[in-house]
Amino acid sequence: MNLLGTDSNLNIRILRWAGRYYPVAAVLLARLMSSTFGLVISQIITRNNNDFSPEQYNLSLLITIVLFLLGDILVAAATVYYTRDIALRLEQWKAGKTTSDTQTELRAWRQSNGILWNYSMVAIPAAGLVNILPLLIFQSYSLKATPNQLIYSALGTGLAALISIGISILVVEYLMRPTRTLLLPSNFEQQIKGAIGARLRTKLILNTLALLGISILALAPLGYSRTYRVLYEAIGSFNTLTELQVSLIVASLAISAIGVFMAFSTAETATTSIHELTEVFRKVEKGDLKQRARVIASDELGELAIYFNRMLERIEALQSNLEKRVDEQTEKLRASNEVGRIASTILDPDVLVSRVVNLIAKTFDYYYVAIFLVSANGRWAEIVDATGTAGEILKARRHRLQVGGSSMVGNAVATGQAQVAMDVGEAAVRFNNPLLPNTRSELALPLIVGERVIGALDVQSIREADFKQDDIATLQSLASQVAIAIENARLFREMEDALTELRQANRQYIRSAWQETLQAGKLEYAVQSAAMPEAETSKEISVNLNVRDQPIGYIRIQTSEDWTQEDQAWVESLATQVAISLENARLIEQSNQSALREQLSASIIQKLWSTPSVEGILQTAARELGRALEASEASIELKVEK
């Protein structure tokens, strides 16, 4: 990221060359430019008004230059002191390093913002104590200057110092721009905490006063000199000269007072609106988007306040819409999760469909929701469930739509694609149901399982163009879940029906098998105690012997003691094990009988295969069958029907 892309190439080249010494270089460069210009202007004024000899003037100029250089050295030394953290950060930047010391980062940022204030605090006293006062002392004692000459020198040197400070502040402000860009902390709180530079109000006042002071200092020597020559040298009227000088001083003071008042007024007008905007910014940052800035200025600041208020209105509307959309999406997600929950917990297709259509209608605030399923012959989409009174009537009529017909449901089932009508009033051929007169837009979504379309979800709204792309996507996702849930419920019902039939067949088989087992006689076993309880005091418990829910007998126990719940449970548990054991014994006996039959069959077949003649085969077959079945007589006859 090019952080210096908006600054001039000169600033960047000096910054890369100077590195840690860039702040000092910026100050010295600004001082050199501004001091040269100020000295030229001040020397022109001094030379034209001060009656120094050429030798005195040259010596005075030399001392002035030396004193200004001393002032520059003093300011440079102070700059080195109060920009030491800036120097450290610039050295790290030049070496391509980053810092994790947030305190050094904050101090460097503060120093970059306060450099103009610190510079002014050093440059202004240095101008008075180093540039002006030593020069006046030198002229007074070495050059024997008169009071008027000292006044001219003071005015000229003061003008040079004021021009030097004013211009150098602007130049330093410009040259330090890339440094501030580099030193800007990444943390917003540190950015605000370190923004301690001179405020706009102070800058406006100081700039106005500096301009006023430069004007007065530039004109004062000329006015004083010309007044003296005209009124004192030509006329010789010292009183008139004094009166005029007093008037000029009073006028200068009045102009200065007016200038100060105008400077403060201009600064107040400019900064009040900015302060209000800043305060509104702070409140907006805390989340109060209802704040608005007062439009109290008629200039660009007033225009800025107007645009700022409009921006806040748009942000508030955007946030409101965003919150509404978030709520809608959250509700859609909740509905999707609810459909998934219903699909995983409800296995009755009728209950499942009823819950789903009512959930969609309530969540999305739709006029009518219905689910159609394809008939067995695939020609019709038959209504399964629907919302409202119209849905009840349509279910009672067994409403159905032809697959591939003119209806949106029929087309959705036939094509497997979503069908949307944003204004069904203009497409009445696609939808014409007097039970739903308020429908303005309709959406039909296919219910797809794998590659097969099993039905359609029909949604109708009283609002035009009510189905946006995200709504369609959400409803299609719900339709997919509903389709899978319906198919799973259908498969579960078929499985339950098959299991019911299997259980019924199994019970019938067990009943038939035990009936065959009991054909030979009743199977029972009883044990009696020596001390039988009397009939009126006996307690009896009877527990069925069940094999796969089919009773095959019972256990009956009589005792004189009361039966507890534990006794009852123990007997029932034992009865279950007895029933299982009996069934296992029957199966083993049946298996053994089958094995004996198989063995006997194999023996008879082996004998038959070993007999070579027809007569022998007949004899062997009759003999072996009669012996195996213990028959009194067995015969085999060969006869061909005519």
How would DSSP label each residue in 511-569?
Answer: HHHHHHHGGG---------SSPPPTTT-EEEEEEEEETTEEEEEEEEEESSPPPHHHHH
Least confident of 121-130, 316-325, 337-346, 468-477: 337-346
Token pair in block for residue 372: 């159609």
Same domain, 120 and 2: yes
pLDDT at 247 over 70: no
**DSSP 8-state class, residue 386:** E
What average pLDDT does the segment 388-404 reach?
88
Cα separation, 56 vs 569, in Å, equals 133
Whether 129 contacts 89, CB under 8 Å: no
Token pair in block for residue 218: 């530039």
Domain boundary among the residues 166, 197, 228 is at: 197
Task: Match 């296919």 to its residue by tokens.
Answer: 446
Same domain, 425 and 556: no
Q: What is the pLDDT of residue 372?
A: 92
Same domain, 62 and 150: yes
Domain count within the chain: 3
Same domain, 559 and 489: no
Tell me which of 443 and 94 has the higher pLDDT. 443
Least confident of 186-190, 430-434, 526-530, 633-637: 430-434
Q: What are phi and psi of 501, to 5 degrees?
A: -65, -40
Same domain, 9 and 136: yes
pLDDT at 118 over 80: yes
Residue pLDDT, tens place only, 520-569? 666 777 777 655 556 556 677 777 777 777 787 777 777 777 777 787 78
Cα separation, 220 vs 226, in Å, equals 10
pLDDT at 187 over 80: no
Strand partners for 550: 547
Same domain, 464 and 552: no
**DSSP 8-state class, residue 176:** T
Q: What is the pLDDT of residue 581?
A: 82
Cα separation, 271 vs 301, in Å, equals 9
206 found inside a domain: no
Domain boundary among the residues 495, 520, 554 is at: 495
Most confident of 222-226, 396-400, 419-423, 570-574: 396-400
Mean pLDDT score across all residues of the chain: 77
Whole-number percent of the chain with pLDDT over 90:
1
583 found inside a domain: yes
324 found inside a domain: no
Q: What is the pLDDT of residue 242?
A: 64
Task: Say which residues have a Cβ less than 8 Å from residue 191's Cβ, sequence separation at least 6.
Answer: 109, 184, 185
Most confident of 183-187, 439-443, 497-501: 439-443
Token pair in block for residue 279: 């305060």
Whether 384 contacts 355, CB under 8 Å: no
pLDDT at 1 over 50: no
Most confident of 284-298, 412-426, 519-533: 412-426
Cα separation, 21 vs 446, in Å, equals 74
pLDDT at 259 over 80: no
pLDDT at 83 over 80: yes
Tell me which of 454 and 590 has the higher pLDDT. 454
Same domain, 480 and 544: no
53 found inside a domain: yes
- Picking from 454, 449, 444, the residue whose alpha carbon sits closest to that of residue 476 is 444
Give me the helices (H) in 184-299, please. 188-193, 200-227, 238-285
402 found inside a domain: yes
- Picking from 119, 118, 130, the residue whose alpha carbon sits closest to that of residue 158 is 130
Least confident of 89-93, 147-151, 174-178, 386-390: 147-151
Task: Match 């019938």 to its residue by tokens.
Answer: 508
Same domain, 550 and 480: no
- Picking from 141, 201, 185, 160, the residue whose alpha carbon sits closest to that of residue 37 is 160
Tell me the CB-side half-sphere exposure of residue 420, using CA atoms within 13 A: 13
276 found inside a domain: no
Same domain, 182 and 85: yes
Count how many residues are written for the chain.
642
Whole-number percent of the chain with pLDDT over 70:
77
331 found inside a domain: no
Cα separation, 192 vs 29, in Å, equals 30
Domain that holds residue 381: 346-495
Same domain, 120 and 186: yes
Domain of residue 363, CATH code: 3.30.450.40
Residue pLDDT, tens place only, 120-168? 888 888 888 888 888 888 888 888 877 777 877 777 787 778 878 888 8
Local confidence band at 48 (pLDDT 50, 70, 90 cut-offs): low
287 found inside a domain: no
Same domain, 415 and 474: yes
Domain boundary among the residues 495, 527, 558 is at: 495
Q: What is the pLDDT of residue 4?
A: 47
Same domain, 561 and 473: no
Whether 116 contacts 173, CB under 8 Å: yes
